[in-house]
Amino acid sequence: MVLNFRRSSFSSGSTTGGSCGRWAAVRIDLPPPWITCWRFLNTGLSWMMRTKGYNPKRRIAVSGSVPPHRLGELARKASYGGNPEHKRSPGDYGLTPPASPRPGKTLCDGEKQLLREEAAGLLSAGLRKGMMSPCAADSWPQNVWALSEAGEAFEAQLENPTLGAYHGYPMPQNDDFRAVVQAEWNKR
């Protein structure tokens, strides 16, 4: 992607620059995945950038490293809250605002609308199988992974560590960790 912006100065008679400016053309070469959004502020051009790629530190806890009774406890106590940034339509989630999709975010209802009960079921199933990031004995895992009956990989992230509330979304096709999740799910 190429964006063309340059700050031009308009000070009285000065050709070397000034403190007041407007935007004009200048070439800035950036690869398309790096820019998720940009906006102009009265002080200049402000970038909101997201580095391309997914968290390379994600790991699934070793099978058997969490006792089964602890996995059952996590599955019973965890809740699925959803996140309006990942929603195209509000469904039965009761979110405020109901849906507010953000550029660069994966939509959990991109392919089909997922009911809250289905999302909560995927979260519980992932916890019962131990498909979660490693965590301390008395805390919630940051991530939980699950596969739907159709074989689609989902990732949930901890939203509220006090309540054990998560929001989730389908893992994008270009996320290499998706294959790790699918293989590990089938082993367990």
Phi then psi for residue 9, to 5 deg, are -95, 150
How large a percentage of the chain has pLDDT more than 90? Answer: 43
In angstroms, how far is CA 60 from the centroid of its own chain? 17
Encode pLDDT of 149-174 as tens digits. Answer: 999 999 999 999 999 999 888 898 89
With residue 70 as reference, give the H or E element that holds it: helix 68-77
pLDDT of residue 62: 96
Strands 153-160 and 143-147, by their bridges, are antiparallel
Handedness of CA 156, 144, 171, 149 (dihedral sign): negative
Average pLDDT across the chain, whole number:
74
- Average the pLDDT over each of 5-19, 33-47, 61-75, 76-90 and give the range with the smallest value: 33-47
pTM above 0.85, yes or no: no
Look at residue 8 and tell me whether its pLDDT is greater than 60. no
| 64-78, 81-95, 128-142, 162-176: the lowest-pLDDT one | 81-95
Question: For position 56, what pLDDT does the model report?
Answer: 87
Q: For 14-36, write each residue's pLDDT tens digit.
A: 444 444 445 444 455 544 443 33
Question: Residue 4's pLDDT is what?
Answer: 47
| 53 pLDDT more than 60 | yes
Other CB atoms within 10 Å distance of the CB of residue 115: 12
Over residues 59-66, mean pLDDT? 95
User: In the β-sheet with 165-170, what is the strand arrangement from edge to edge?
Assistant: 79-80, 165-170, 153-160, 143-147
